[in-house]
Amino acid sequence: MTAAVAAPIWRVRIHELGVIPQLPKTLYFPDAADGELMDIPCYCYVLTDGVSVVLVDSGANPVLARQGGCTVVGGSDEELAAALSADGFTPDDVRYVVHTHLHYDHLANDGLLRKAHVVVQQEELDWALSGRSGPFYVAVPDWMGVLGRRLLRVTGETELLPGLRLVPNGGHTPGHQSVIVNVAADHRACICGDIVSMLANVSAPGAVTSDLIATQAFLARASSAGWIMLPSHDPDFRAHDWFVPRGR
Ligand SMILES: [Zn+2]
Protein backbone atom coordinates (compact mmCIF):
# COMPACT_ATOMS: atom_id res chain seq x y z
CA MET A 1 0.00 0.00 0.00
CA THR A 2 1.39 3.41 -0.90
CA ALA A 3 0.94 6.34 1.44
CA ALA A 4 -1.03 9.31 0.11
CA VAL A 5 1.24 12.17 -0.95
CA ALA A 6 0.27 15.40 0.78
CA ALA A 7 -0.28 18.39 -1.49
CA PRO A 8 2.46 21.01 -1.14
CA ILE A 9 1.98 24.01 1.10
CA TRP A 10 2.37 27.33 -0.67
CA ARG A 11 3.59 30.53 0.89
CA VAL A 12 1.94 33.71 -0.30
CA ARG A 13 3.31 37.22 -0.25
CA ILE A 14 1.59 40.40 -1.30
CA HIS A 15 3.37 43.20 -3.15
CA GLU A 16 1.95 46.58 -4.05
CA LEU A 17 2.66 47.55 -7.67
CA GLY A 18 1.05 50.84 -8.56
CA VAL A 19 -1.75 52.92 -7.05
CA ILE A 20 -4.83 54.19 -8.86
CA PRO A 21 -5.50 57.56 -7.24
CA GLN A 22 -8.76 59.15 -6.20
CA LEU A 23 -11.42 56.70 -7.31
CA PRO A 24 -14.98 57.03 -6.02
CA LYS A 25 -15.25 54.98 -2.85
CA THR A 26 -18.75 53.92 -3.86
CA LEU A 27 -17.19 51.67 -6.54
CA TYR A 28 -16.18 49.31 -3.75
CA PHE A 29 -18.22 50.28 -0.70
CA PRO A 30 -21.93 50.62 -1.51
CA ASP A 31 -22.56 52.57 1.69
CA ALA A 32 -19.82 55.17 1.12
CA ALA A 33 -20.86 58.79 0.78
CA ASP A 34 -21.14 60.26 -2.72
CA GLY A 35 -18.04 62.27 -3.55
CA GLU A 36 -15.73 60.34 -1.21
CA LEU A 37 -12.52 59.32 -2.98
CA MET A 38 -9.85 56.76 -2.18
CA ASP A 39 -6.50 55.62 -3.51
CA ILE A 40 -6.52 51.98 -4.68
CA PRO A 41 -3.34 49.90 -4.41
CA CYS A 42 -2.82 47.21 -7.06
CA TYR A 43 -1.39 43.93 -5.85
CA CYS A 44 0.78 41.19 -7.23
CA TYR A 45 0.75 37.98 -5.20
CA VAL A 46 3.97 35.92 -5.18
CA LEU A 47 3.50 32.23 -4.38
CA THR A 48 6.07 29.53 -3.84
CA ASP A 49 5.99 25.92 -2.70
CA GLY A 50 9.77 25.91 -2.43
CA VAL A 51 10.11 24.55 -5.98
CA SER A 52 8.06 26.75 -8.27
CA VAL A 53 7.39 30.49 -8.19
CA VAL A 54 3.98 31.61 -9.39
CA LEU A 55 2.65 35.16 -9.62
CA VAL A 56 -1.01 36.02 -9.50
CA ASP A 57 -1.31 39.22 -11.53
CA SER A 58 1.62 41.56 -12.11
CA GLY A 59 0.23 44.93 -11.00
CA ALA A 60 -0.19 48.27 -12.73
CA ASN A 61 2.21 50.79 -14.22
CA PRO A 62 1.80 54.38 -15.42
CA VAL A 63 2.78 53.74 -19.05
CA LEU A 64 0.09 51.20 -19.84
CA ALA A 65 -2.46 53.13 -17.78
CA ARG A 66 -1.79 56.28 -19.81
CA GLN A 67 -2.39 54.40 -23.06
CA GLY A 68 -5.89 53.70 -21.76
CA GLY A 69 -6.43 57.26 -20.58
CA CYS A 70 -6.08 56.20 -16.93
CA THR A 71 -3.71 57.28 -14.16
CA VAL A 72 -1.45 55.06 -12.08
CA VAL A 73 1.19 56.23 -9.64
CA GLY A 74 4.16 53.92 -9.13
CA GLY A 75 4.36 50.37 -10.39
CA SER A 76 6.98 49.32 -12.92
CA ASP A 77 9.12 46.41 -14.03
CA GLU A 78 11.82 47.73 -11.69
CA GLU A 79 9.46 47.65 -8.72
CA LEU A 80 8.43 44.11 -9.56
CA ALA A 81 12.09 43.06 -9.86
CA ALA A 82 12.78 44.61 -6.44
CA ALA A 83 9.76 42.85 -4.94
CA LEU A 84 10.90 39.50 -6.29
CA SER A 85 14.42 40.15 -5.09
CA ALA A 86 13.10 40.85 -1.58
CA ASP A 87 11.55 37.39 -1.70
CA GLY A 88 14.84 35.86 -2.88
CA PHE A 89 13.86 35.42 -6.52
CA THR A 90 14.81 36.79 -9.91
CA PRO A 91 12.28 37.48 -12.67
CA ASP A 92 13.57 34.44 -14.54
CA ASP A 93 12.61 32.22 -11.59
CA VAL A 94 8.92 32.84 -12.23
CA ARG A 95 7.36 29.76 -13.82
CA TYR A 96 3.78 30.95 -14.22
CA VAL A 97 1.88 34.22 -14.08
CA VAL A 98 -1.82 33.61 -13.56
CA HIS A 99 -4.10 36.47 -14.52
CA THR A 100 -7.36 36.81 -12.67
CA HIS A 101 -8.48 38.93 -15.63
CA LEU A 102 -6.95 41.18 -18.27
CA HIS A 103 -7.71 44.71 -17.05
CA TYR A 104 -4.75 47.07 -17.38
CA ASP A 105 -4.09 47.19 -13.64
CA HIS A 106 -3.44 43.44 -13.39
CA LEU A 107 -0.96 42.65 -16.16
CA ALA A 108 1.18 45.73 -16.71
CA ASN A 109 4.53 44.27 -15.69
CA ASP A 110 4.47 40.94 -17.51
CA GLY A 111 7.23 42.06 -19.88
CA LEU A 112 9.80 41.52 -17.14
CA LEU A 113 8.94 37.85 -16.72
CA ARG A 114 10.63 36.50 -19.81
CA LYS A 115 10.56 32.83 -18.89
CA ALA A 116 7.10 32.60 -17.38
CA HIS A 117 4.09 31.02 -18.98
CA VAL A 118 1.13 33.36 -18.63
CA VAL A 119 -2.17 31.70 -17.80
CA VAL A 120 -5.59 33.11 -18.58
CA GLN A 121 -9.06 31.70 -19.10
CA GLN A 122 -9.93 31.38 -22.79
CA GLU A 123 -13.24 33.12 -22.07
CA GLU A 124 -11.41 36.16 -20.68
CA LEU A 125 -9.21 36.36 -23.75
CA ASP A 126 -12.24 36.07 -26.03
CA TRP A 127 -13.97 38.87 -24.12
CA ALA A 128 -10.85 41.07 -24.14
CA LEU A 129 -10.65 40.79 -27.94
CA SER A 130 -14.38 41.03 -28.60
CA GLY A 131 -14.46 44.78 -29.23
CA ARG A 132 -17.19 45.06 -26.57
CA SER A 133 -15.04 44.76 -23.47
CA GLY A 134 -14.62 48.45 -22.62
CA PRO A 135 -11.79 50.81 -21.75
CA PHE A 136 -10.03 48.79 -19.05
CA TYR A 137 -8.62 46.38 -21.63
CA VAL A 138 -5.59 48.27 -22.94
CA ALA A 139 -3.34 47.06 -25.78
CA VAL A 140 -4.23 43.39 -25.26
CA PRO A 141 -3.10 42.37 -28.79
CA ASP A 142 0.31 43.98 -28.11
CA TRP A 143 0.54 42.10 -24.82
CA MET A 144 -0.27 38.85 -26.62
CA GLY A 145 2.39 39.62 -29.21
CA VAL A 146 5.06 40.00 -26.52
CA LEU A 147 4.07 36.71 -24.90
CA GLY A 148 3.79 34.67 -28.08
CA ARG A 149 3.79 30.97 -27.28
CA ARG A 150 4.18 31.65 -23.57
CA LEU A 151 0.49 32.49 -23.37
CA LEU A 152 -1.42 29.50 -21.94
CA ARG A 153 -5.18 29.45 -22.33
CA VAL A 154 -7.18 27.29 -19.97
CA THR A 155 -10.85 26.46 -19.93
CA GLY A 156 -12.70 25.85 -16.70
CA GLU A 157 -11.45 24.77 -13.30
CA THR A 158 -7.82 23.71 -13.59
CA GLU A 159 -5.20 22.36 -11.20
CA LEU A 160 -2.17 24.27 -12.46
CA LEU A 161 0.21 22.69 -9.96
CA PRO A 162 -0.39 20.45 -6.94
CA GLY A 163 -2.12 22.52 -4.28
CA LEU A 164 -2.82 25.41 -6.67
CA ARG A 165 -6.15 25.51 -8.48
CA LEU A 166 -7.68 28.02 -10.89
CA VAL A 167 -11.40 28.59 -10.43
CA PRO A 168 -13.29 30.62 -13.05
CA ASN A 169 -16.11 32.60 -11.51
CA GLY A 170 -17.26 35.43 -13.80
CA GLY A 171 -18.59 38.18 -11.60
CA HIS A 172 -16.17 40.98 -12.41
CA THR A 173 -15.48 40.08 -16.05
CA PRO A 174 -16.89 37.15 -18.03
CA GLY A 175 -13.68 35.11 -17.92
CA HIS A 176 -12.52 36.17 -14.46
CA GLN A 177 -10.86 33.53 -12.27
CA SER A 178 -9.54 33.23 -8.72
CA VAL A 179 -6.66 31.10 -7.45
CA ILE A 180 -7.17 28.65 -4.60
CA VAL A 181 -3.96 27.62 -2.91
CA ASN A 182 -3.02 25.36 -0.01
CA VAL A 183 -1.45 27.51 2.68
CA ALA A 184 -1.54 24.86 5.41
CA ALA A 185 -2.65 21.24 5.60
CA ASP A 186 -6.14 22.38 6.58
CA HIS A 187 -6.31 25.90 5.16
CA ARG A 188 -6.87 27.19 1.64
CA ALA A 189 -6.48 30.79 0.61
CA CYS A 190 -8.38 32.37 -2.25
CA ILE A 191 -6.50 35.00 -4.20
CA CYS A 192 -9.67 36.60 -5.32
CA GLY A 193 -8.89 39.09 -8.06
CA ASP A 194 -11.63 41.68 -8.46
CA ILE A 195 -14.49 39.39 -7.56
CA VAL A 196 -13.45 40.61 -4.08
CA SER A 197 -11.58 43.90 -4.53
CA MET A 198 -11.94 44.86 -0.86
CA LEU A 199 -12.37 42.36 1.93
CA ALA A 200 -15.71 44.03 2.74
CA ASN A 201 -16.96 42.85 -0.67
CA VAL A 202 -17.17 39.30 0.72
CA SER A 203 -20.41 40.37 2.37
CA ALA A 204 -21.30 43.38 0.20
CA PRO A 205 -20.26 43.20 -3.46
CA GLY A 206 -19.26 46.58 -4.90
CA ALA A 207 -20.26 48.38 -8.07
CA VAL A 208 -17.40 46.78 -10.05
CA THR A 209 -19.45 43.56 -10.01
CA SER A 210 -20.76 42.89 -13.50
CA ASP A 211 -22.60 39.65 -12.69
CA LEU A 212 -24.08 39.65 -9.20
CA ILE A 213 -25.48 36.12 -9.45
CA ALA A 214 -22.10 34.64 -10.44
CA THR A 215 -20.43 36.66 -7.69
CA GLN A 216 -22.85 35.48 -5.03
CA ALA A 217 -22.53 31.85 -6.14
CA PHE A 218 -18.75 32.05 -5.83
CA LEU A 219 -18.90 33.80 -2.46
CA ALA A 220 -21.26 31.09 -1.16
CA ARG A 221 -18.80 28.42 -2.30
CA ALA A 222 -15.92 30.30 -0.67
CA SER A 223 -17.84 30.61 2.57
CA SER A 224 -18.78 26.94 2.76
CA ALA A 225 -15.21 25.92 1.90
CA GLY A 226 -13.77 28.27 4.54
CA TRP A 227 -11.27 29.85 2.18
CA ILE A 228 -9.19 32.73 3.51
CA MET A 229 -10.03 35.58 1.18
CA LEU A 230 -7.20 37.74 -0.19
CA PRO A 231 -8.56 40.72 -2.13
CA SER A 232 -6.99 42.51 -5.08
CA HIS A 233 -7.07 46.16 -4.01
CA ASP A 234 -7.76 46.42 -0.27
CA PRO A 235 -5.48 49.07 1.33
CA ASP A 236 -5.62 47.12 4.60
CA PHE A 237 -3.59 44.34 2.95
CA ARG A 238 -0.59 46.59 2.31
CA ALA A 239 2.68 45.47 3.82
CA HIS A 240 1.54 42.05 4.93
CA ASP A 241 4.52 39.81 5.51
CA TRP A 242 4.59 36.13 4.60
CA PHE A 243 1.02 35.12 4.94
CA VAL A 244 0.16 33.04 8.01
CA PRO A 245 -3.26 31.39 8.17
CA ARG A 246 -5.57 32.54 10.93
CA GLY A 247 -5.31 30.64 14.16
CA ARG A 248 -1.68 29.62 13.68
ZN1 LIG B 1 -8.41 45.54 -10.53
| pLDDT (tens digit per residue) in 47-63 | 999 999 999 999 999 99
Rounded to the nearest whole angstrom, what is the distance from the C-alpha of residue 209 to the centroid of ligand 1? 11
Rounded to the nearest whole angstrom, what is the distance from the C-alpha of residue 20 to the centroid of ligand 1? 10
Rounded to whole angstroms, the Cα distance separating 182 from 2 reads 22
Rounded to the nearest whole angstrom, what is the distance from the C-alpha of residue 105 to the centroid of ligand 1? 6
User: Strands 53-56 and 94-98, how do they pair?
Assistant: parallel
Total residues belonging to the chain: 248
Half-sphere exposure of 151 (CA within 13 A, CB side): 18
Cα–Cα nearest to 225, from 193, 168, 187, 197: 187
Are 125 and 93 in contact by the 8 Å Cβ rule? The answer is no
Would you list the domain boundaries of the chain? 11-234
- pTM recorded for the entire structure: 0.94
Rounded to the nearest whole angstrom, what is the distance from the C-alpha of residue 4 to the centroid of ligand 1? 38
Looking at residue 73, the DSSP 8-state letter turns out to be B
Rounded to the nearest whole angstrom, what is the distance from the C-alpha of residue 136 to the centroid of ligand 1? 9
CATH classification for the domain delimited by 11-234, as one of 3.60.15.10, 3.90.230.10, 3.40.50.720, 3.90.226.10: 3.60.15.10
Helix (H) or strand (E) holding 128: helix 122-128
Q: How many CB atoms lie within 10 A of CB 117?
A: 17
* Residue 3, C-beta contacts closer than 8 angstroms, at least 6 positions apart: none
Q: Which residues pair with 120 in a beta bridge?
A: 153
Q: Which amino acid is at 145?
A: G
How far is C-alpha 204 from the geometric centre of its chain's CA atoms? Answer: 19
The terminus-to-terminus CA distance of the chain in angstroms comes to: 33
Task: Using pLDDT thresholds of 50, 70 and 90, give the confidence band for residue 247.
Answer: very low
Note the pLDDT tens digit of each residue in 152-194. 999 999 999 999 999 999 999 999 999 999 999 889 999 999 9
